[in-house]
């Protein structure tokens, strides 16, 4: 298990291939700065059951865009989407996304590149306060 740093959080390192933007290694860093491989059990605990994947977030953003164009509600529901509803949303949106420019954004290579560029940007620029109800500036 990873040691905690002075701020109380665990530290992780990702080794990313710059050419492909693929993660080639994922490790913890202990208090002395030494890297250690992460066990399958710890990875499973980190990737919490029911947590949202990036692809799901993009599908929801696509759905929100459709809803906005059609004049729907603000879509800020406090209730968690059931697994059955999530599956239905996926089945309905997949053909629409497949025939739109958004299709490229869901390809693994594009997602990897976007994630890498976002990590670089966030590591080199100070955090901006997040406006209420919206994403961070430049995010």
Q: Where are the domains of the chain?
A: 1-51, 52-71+83-123
> Which residues are within 8 A (CB) of 55 and not within 5 positions of it... i.e. 6 or more apart?
106, 111
pTM of this structure = 0.60
- Dihedral (CA of 123, 126, 129, 133) sign: negative
Residue 5 has what pLDDT? 42
DSSP 125: S
User: Based on the number of CB atoms within 10 Å of its own CB, is 29 exposed (0-12), middle (13-18) or buried (19 or more)?
Assistant: middle
Q: How far apart are CA 119 and CA 124, in angstroms?
A: 9
Residue 81 has what pLDDT? 75
Residue 9 has what pLDDT? 65
Provide the residue-wise pLDDT of the chain in tens; the chain has 139 residues.
444 444 446 888 999 999 999 999 999 998 888 999 988 888 888 877 556 688 888 888 888 888 888 887 665 565 677 888 888 888 888 888 888 888 888 888 888 899 899 989 998 887 776 665 555 544 4
Which of 48, 43, 45, 9 lies closest to 29 in space, CA to CA?
Answer: 9
Q: How far apart are CA 139 and CA 121, in angstroms?
A: 9
Residue 137 has what pLDDT? 47
């Amino acid at each position: 298990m990873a040691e905690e740093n002075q701020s109380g959080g665990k530290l992780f390192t990702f080794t990313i291939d710059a050419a492909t933007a693929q993660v080639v290694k994922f490790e913890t860093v202990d208090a002395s700065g030494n890297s250690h491989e992460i066990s399958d059990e710890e990875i499973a605990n980190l990737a919490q059951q029911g947590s949202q994947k990036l692809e799901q977030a993009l599908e929801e953003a696509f759905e929100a865009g459709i809803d906005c164009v059609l004049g729907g509600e603000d879509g800020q529901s406090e209730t968690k989407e059931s697994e059955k509803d999530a599956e239905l949303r996926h089945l309905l949106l997949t053909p629409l996304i497949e025939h739109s420019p958004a299709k490229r954004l869901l390809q693994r290579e594009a997602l990897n590149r976007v994630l890498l560029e976002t990590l670089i940007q966030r590591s080199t620029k100070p955090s901006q306060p997040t406006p209420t109800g919206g994403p961070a500036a430049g995010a």
